[in-house]
């Protein structure tokens, strides 16, 4: 799963740790025999799934929650850092969705059209996405960080009839609009402007739709949803012509909710904070549709630099995030503890509170109260996904009393395929197959490792306008559709999945961004000086971030013709590096190639002349 570009973690500041509760804990007498028996009983305990939900469409979720939680707060958003938080109830949200959907389908005649949604996380983004899923059209969520040319390309490839955009993207949309003659409407969030040619304000449309509804127009809510109909199109990365478009349906998204509720218990009093971008399925499915389905509230983070204050002001109980944020939070807290010269005491308190918890005495929130207060005071769950995380950090999160869960999946599985049950956590595991999915390991080696295969009701319909890629990724066996994930892993005796290798093709950065090597390789191959190439993420000792590396076989004939004979290795390296620099200029920063390896022998290939990446990466570069 890809998530964020340039994920800059804020400077968490904590007061000096006093550990005032230490004396209180020392007074508790521990019966170590009782601890041992409790641990043994815990292992024998029958861990069962929750009943979970059974939705087939997102519209069912919308109708149910709008009625069940009408007066509860759904969204909290601060539209100005100096102002107070605005609370939007489920009922207000419902009325905006119905109003917007009515206007799109009745006034603009956009029913079943492809509609791009691009912008920062804001309540208008939530309204737009829900409106699409309830029958207005096909949603095309787009990464707001894409360069101007890629935004234009996505809109064209999607054959979009309309673009919903935030005010911050207005200038970019204005620039590309003249190259998009097939787009009928450009709809601006947070705008009440009446229609001016193709431009119209979203708030204006919502109010116009509400007028129609008040006059008896119930057509939007009367739209029946086919659970298996193509409803969402997500491009897997910034799009050159070869990026894949993932086609999802209502059932895929509804099953994500059903799957999560079977493994994790959320309550209407829970509050999630939206930190990750909504265009990604991790956030839009698990950070939006899931809490909406169970009556939770969601506070919208104003931006990474506001995380600390937003946590303290809105007091969320759960965070969906990527490893980079958790790791930096961990490092800053540990550094502060050491600075306070309390590291020895904290470690002893961790051991002591773990022992007490084993016999049913949980005082972790008292002991580590200062950490909790700096995170808003109510945090009980942290979910890390999109990239691997150091198991010791997950263990530490649990040691201070916060439930640490991990998820695994891809955009192609909308996205959850595996998740840690909150009643059976396994730090280090990516979770176990969710209730609507099956996992298996293809051709496992002597260590049980092989490619992870996924069969799930969350599995995509296929790749957009690419039957060949769909056939390569999905196969049918005994009436079940199986997806080749490209990830290498193994499963333990209890069905928990452990990812041990990188994706065969996809490079996953520390902040969860996916980089598809084929896109970069095609750009490199446009230069005649490069005969063949393979792009991969190189692991470097002491570094957590992968180094984007190009392994290149130079075209010596072309180089000799253009640059002269008898060039040494350094001169050839410089020629190829100049071509890489040209390619880097056309890439977003996180995709840029940082290292070049000149290869003098042939790549390991299949009979169809495709590079065997997994085998090639085992070899040392020449």
Burial pattern 231-244, b for ≥16 Cβ within 10 A else e, equals bbbbbbbbbbeebb
What are the boundaries of each domain within the chain?
58-224, 516-616
Q: According to the model, what pLDDT value does residue 518 have?
A: 76
Q: Which residues pair with 419 in a beta bridge?
A: 407, 432
Confidence of residue 420 (pLDDT cuts 50, 70, 90): very high
Q: According to the model, what pLDDT value does residue 508 have?
A: 73
- Tens of pLDDT, residue by residue over 505-564, are 677 777 777 677 877 888 898 898 998 899 988 888 878 788 999 999 999 988 998 999
pLDDT higher than 70, residue 130: yes
Residue 297 and residue 73 in contact, taking contact as beta carbons nearer than 8 Å: yes
Q: CA 182, CA 200: separation in Å to the nearest integer?
A: 16
pLDDT higher than 90, residue 241: no
- Tens of pLDDT, residue by residue over 41-68, are 555 556 799 999 999 999 999 999 999 9
Structure tokens at 605: 């290939």
Report, as an integer, the average pLDDT of 122-127. Answer: 97
Q: How far is CA 272 from CA 190, 264, 284, 537, in A?
A: 23, 13, 12, 33
Report, as an integer, the average pLDDT of 162-184. Answer: 96
pLDDT higher than 80, residue 399: yes
Report, as an integer, the average pLDDT of 606-615. Answer: 62
Q: Which residues pair with 77 in a beta bridge?
A: 86
Report, as an integer, the average pLDDT of 418-430. Answer: 94
Long-range own/partner contacts, residues 172-175 (CB < 8 A, 24 or more apart): 172/148, 173/118, 175/148
Residue ranges of the alpha helices (H) in 132-178?
Answer: 148-157, 170-177
Structure tokens at 36: 């041992």
Burial pattern 9-47, b for ≥16 Cβ within 10 A else e, equals bbebebeebebebeeebeeeeeeeeebeeeeeeeeeeee
- DSSP character at residue 605: B
Q: Are strands 431-433 and 416-419 parallel, antiparallel or unpaired?
A: antiparallel
Length of the chain: 622
- Tens of pLDDT, residue by residue over 25-47, are 554 555 556 555 555 555 555 67
Confidence of residue 608 (pLDDT cuts 50, 70, 90): very low
Q: CA 159, CA 92: separation in Å to the nearest integer?
A: 32
Confidence of residue 502 (pLDDT cuts 50, 70, 90): low
Confidence of residue 323 (pLDDT cuts 50, 70, 90): confident
Edge-to-edge, what's the strand order for the sheet holding 230-235? 199-201, 185-188, 162-165, 113-118, 137-142, 230-235, 245-249, 462-463
Residue 184 and residue 137 in contact, taking contact as beta carbons nearer than 8 Å: no
Q: According to the model, what pLDDT value does residue 383 have?
A: 95
Cα–chain center distance at 80: 26
Query: Any idea which architecture 58-224 has in CATH?
Result: 3-Layer(aba) Sandwich (3.40)
Report, as an integer, the average pLDDT of 386-411. Answer: 89
Burial pattern 611-621, b for ≥16 Cβ within 10 A else e, equals bebbebbeeeb
- Tens of pLDDT, residue by residue over 543-560, are 878 899 999 999 998 899
Q: What is the mean pLDDT of the chain?
A: 88
CB-CB neighbours of 107 under 10 Å: 14
Residue in 550, 467, 64 with CA at minimum distance from that of residue 292: 64
Q: CA 500, CA 452: separation in Å to the nearest integer?
A: 11
- Tens of pLDDT, residue by residue over 250-287, are 999 999 999 999 999 999 999 999 998 999 999 999 99
Q: According to the model, what pLDDT value does residue 619 have?
A: 74
Q: Are strands 245-249 and 230-235 parallel, antiparallel or unpaired?
A: antiparallel
- DSSP character at residue 60: H
Q: CA 619, CA 622: separation in Å to the nearest integer?
A: 9
Long-range own/partner contacts, residues 468-473 (CB < 8 A, 24 or more apart): 469/244, 473/412
What topology is assigned to 516-616 in CATH?
Answer: GMP Synthetase; Chain A, domain 3 (3.30.300)
- DSSP character at residue 546: P
Residue 76 and residue 296 in contact, taking contact as beta carbons nearer than 8 Å: no
pLDDT higher than 70, residue 592: yes
Given the structure tokens 């002491």, which residue do they identify? 542
Report, as an integer, the average pLDDT of 425-432. Answer: 92
- Tens of pLDDT, residue by residue over 354-398, are 988 888 888 999 899 988 988 899 999 999 987 677 788 899 999
- Tens of pLDDT, residue by residue over 465-474, are 999 999 999 9
Q: According to the model, what pLDDT value does residue 455 have?
A: 98
Cα–chain center distance at 67: 29
Q: According to the model, what pLDDT value does residue 27 have?
A: 45
Confidence of residue 2 (pLDDT cuts 50, 70, 90): very low
Q: According to the model, what pLDDT value does residue 13 have?
A: 59
Residue in 431, 452, 451, 542 with CA at minimum distance from that of residue 495: 431
Q: How far is CA 499 from CA 39, 72, 146, 406, in A?
A: 28, 39, 29, 12
Pick the range with the lowest mean pLDDT from 73-77, 179-183, 431-435, 486-490: 486-490
Given the structure tokens 């935004």, which residue do they identify? 151
């Amino acid at each position: 799963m890809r998530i964020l570009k340039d994920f800059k973690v804020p400077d968490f500041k904590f007061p000096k740790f006093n550990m005032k509760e230490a004396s209180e804990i020392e007074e508790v007498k521990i019966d170590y025999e009782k601890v041992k028996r409790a641990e043994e009983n815990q292992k024998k305990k029958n861990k069962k799934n929750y009943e979970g939900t059974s939705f087939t469409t997102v519209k069912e979720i919308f109708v149910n929650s709008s009625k069940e939680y009408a007066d509860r707060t759904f969204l909290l958003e601060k539209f100005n850092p100096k102002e107070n938080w605005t609370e939007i109830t489920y009922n207000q949200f419902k009325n905006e969705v119905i109003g917007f959907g009515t206007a799109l389908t009745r006034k603009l005649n956009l029913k079943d059209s492809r509609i791009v949604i691009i912008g920062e996380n804001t309540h208008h983004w939530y309204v737009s996405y829900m409106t699409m899923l309830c029958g207005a059209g096909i949603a095309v969520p787009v990464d707001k960080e894409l360069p101007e040319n890629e935004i234009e390309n996505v809109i064209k490839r999607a054959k979009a009839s309309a673009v919903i955009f935030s005010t911050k993207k207005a200038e970019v949309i204005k620039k590309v609009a003249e190259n998009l003659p097939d787009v009928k409407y450009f709809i601006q969030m947070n705008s009440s402007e009446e229609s001016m040619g193709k431009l119209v304000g979203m708030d204006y449309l919502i109010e116009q739709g509400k007028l129609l509804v008040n006059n008896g127009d119930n057509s939007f809510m009367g739209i029946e949803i086919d659970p298996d109909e193509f409803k969402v199109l997500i491009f897997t990365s910034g799009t050159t012509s070869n990026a894949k478009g993932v086609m999802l349906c209502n059932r895929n998204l509804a099953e994500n909710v059903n799957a999560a509720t079977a493994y994790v218990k959320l309550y209407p009093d829970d509050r999630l904070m939206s930190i990750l971008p909504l265009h990604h399925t991790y956030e839009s499915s698990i950070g939006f549709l899931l809490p909406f389905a169970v009556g939770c509230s969601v506070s919208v983070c104003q931006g990474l630099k506001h995380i600390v204050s937003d946590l303290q002001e809105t007091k969320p109980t759960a965070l969906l995030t990527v490893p980079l944020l958790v790791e930096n939070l961990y490092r800053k807290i540990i550094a502060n503890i050491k600075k306070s010269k309390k590291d020895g005491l904290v470690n002893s308190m961790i051991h002591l509170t773990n022992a007490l918890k084993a016999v049913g005495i949980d005082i972790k929130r008292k002991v580590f109260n200062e950490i909790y207060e700096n995170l808003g005071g109510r945090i009980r769950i942290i979910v890390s996904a999109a990239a691997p995380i150091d198991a010791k950090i997950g263990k530490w999160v649990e040691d201070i009393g916060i439930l640490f869960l991990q998820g695994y999946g891809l955009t192609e599985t909308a996205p959850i395929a595996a998740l840690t049950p909150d009643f059976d956590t396994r730090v280090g595991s990516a979770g176990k197959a969710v209730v609507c999915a099956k996992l298996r390991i293809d051709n496992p080696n002597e260590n049980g490792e092989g490619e992870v295969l996924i069969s799930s009701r969350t599995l995509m319909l296929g790749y957009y306008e690419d039957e060949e890629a769909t056939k390569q990724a999905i196969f049918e066996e005994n009436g079940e559709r199986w997806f080749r994930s490209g990830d290498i892993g193994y499963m333990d005796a209890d069905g928990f999945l452990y990812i041990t290798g990188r994706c065969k093709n996809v490079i996953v950065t520390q902040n969860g961004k996916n980089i598809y090597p084929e896109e970069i390789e095609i750009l490199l191959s446009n230069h005649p000086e490069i005969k063949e190439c393979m792009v991969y993420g190189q692991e470097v000792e002491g570094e957590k971030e992968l180094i984007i590396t190009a392994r290149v076989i130079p075209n010596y004939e072309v180089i000799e013709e253009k640059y002269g004979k008898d060039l040494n290795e350094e001169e050839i390296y410089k020629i190829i590096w100049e071509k890489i620099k040209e390619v880097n200029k056309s890439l977003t920063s996180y995709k840029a190639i940082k290292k070049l390896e000149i290869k003098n022998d042939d790549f390991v290939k299949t009979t169809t002349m495709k590079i065997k990446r997994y085998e090639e990466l085992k070899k040392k570069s020449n």
